[in-house]
Structure 1
Amino acid sequence: MFKFGAVLTGGLTAIMVTLNGILAGNLGDFIALIIIHIVGLVTAGAIILIKKKKFVFKKDIPFYYFTGGAIGVFLVLFNNITFNAIGVSLTLALGLLGQSVAAIIIDNFGLIGIKATRFDKRKIVGFGIIFAGIVFMIIGS
């Protein structure tokens, strides 16, 4: 079930990057960025209201856990800029490479407060195939 959710997330990400990039191409990167996040805020608020979730603020949460929202703003901005320059497939392929490298480092060293999960050297083959595929995508564009 979780693996299906991850695949679904990937598909939705491709659709989101495409729609956001087209919006940015029509309105400009920064106006689109504001609209995208307002729509996201309204959608999240509606989900919370429909689910009738109570907001409970825990006081012992480290400050840096809240920086994900700021990172998300830059992520959307860079995706919009990149999409309009190189298209959705290469934007997402290079993004996947960056995500994979960052995830391996975070997992292996237990960064940002998570339990360390040592990198299994057998994954190098898979990572190499992904990297080679992205290189071929870059050469072909």
Structure 2
Amino acid sequence: MIYIILAIAGGFLTILSMVVNASLAKRIGVFQGAFINYIGGLIIILLITMGLREYLHMEALVNIPFYAFLGGALGVVIVASSNVIIPKIPTIYSTLLIFIGQIFTGVIIDYLRLSHVSKGKIIGGLIVVLGILYNSNVDKKQLVDEN
């Protein structure tokens, strides 16, 4: 149960972070906003790691494959692209589109790692896509009717 709560909290904080970062990016620029985001994250993780020093095993870093360090680079791309996207489209659509990307990426990774794909995940992803398309058409129709 705790993992479910943590996953929901992580999702909440991810969207909140995207909105805050996008607001910052509108004021100071996309890449400057991403830079501030990562400087803030660096400070926080340094404080956490200093507090948890006895649990860190820095010598284990040499056994980590190079690609494992690419998460930070991917994070910069995600933050910078979110800083561009969030102000342009409603947050709910941004969230749902990111969710769709995550679902289908998860399906691809599961297939590559486990050699099978869950039909339920594919169907669920397609239902979400259809829901977004339907909702965006309803929103467009309401905007036309109001004008």
TM-score of the two chains, using structure 2 as the length reference: 0.83
Gaps of 5+ in 2: 141-147
Q: Taking every aligned residue pair, what percent have the same amino acid on both sides?
A: 29
Structure number with higher helix proportion? 2
- Give the letter for the 1:119 counterpart: V
Q: Which residue number corresponds to residue 81 of structure 1?
A: 84
Give the superposition deviation at 1:100: 0.9
Question: Whole-Å Cα distance in 2 between the matches of residues 47 and 60 of structure 1?
Answer: 23
Question: Whole-Å Cα distance in 2 between the matches of residues 24 and 137 of structure 1?
Answer: 28
Q: Higher mean Cα deviation, 127-136 or 41-50?
A: 127-136
Question: Whole-Å Cα distance in 2 between the matches of residues 80 and 118 of structure 1?
Answer: 35
Question: Whole-Å Cα distance in 2 between the matches of residues 55 and 8 of structure 1?
Answer: 28
Q: Which runs of 4+ in 1 moved over 6 A?
A: none
Question: Whole-Å Cα distance in 2 between the matches of residues 137 and 21 of structure 1?
Answer: 24
Q: Higher mean Cα deviation, 65-74 or 80-89?
A: 80-89
Local SS of the residue matching 1:132: helix
1:1-141 correspondence runs (5 A) = 1-52=2-53, 53-58=55-60, 59-110=62-113, 116=114, 118-139=116-137, 140=139
Question: Whole-Å Cα distance in 1 between the matches of residues 135 and 69 of structure 2?
Answer: 35
Question: Whole-Å Cα distance in 2 between the matches of residues 91 and 129 of structure 1?
Answer: 17
Task: Call closer, same or farther: CA 1:137–1:57 in 2, change over 3 Å.
Answer: farther
Q: Larger radius of gyration, structure 1 or 2?
A: 2
CA offsets 1:44-86 (integer angstroms, 9 cap, x no match)? 1111112234341332221111111100000000001001111
Question: Whole-Å Cα distance in 2 between the matches of residues 101 and 120 of structure 1?
Answer: 11
Task: Call closer, same or farther: CA 1:118–1:3 in 2, change over 3 Å.
Answer: farther
Task: Call closer, same or farther: CA 1:57–1:92 in 2, change over 3 Å.
Answer: farther
Gaps of 5+ in 1: 111-115
Question: Whole-Å Cα distance in 2 between the matches of residues 137 and 11 of structure 1?
Answer: 22
- Give the letter for the 2:108 counterpart: I
- Give the letter for the 2:98 counterpart: G
- Give the letter for the 1:46 counterpart: L
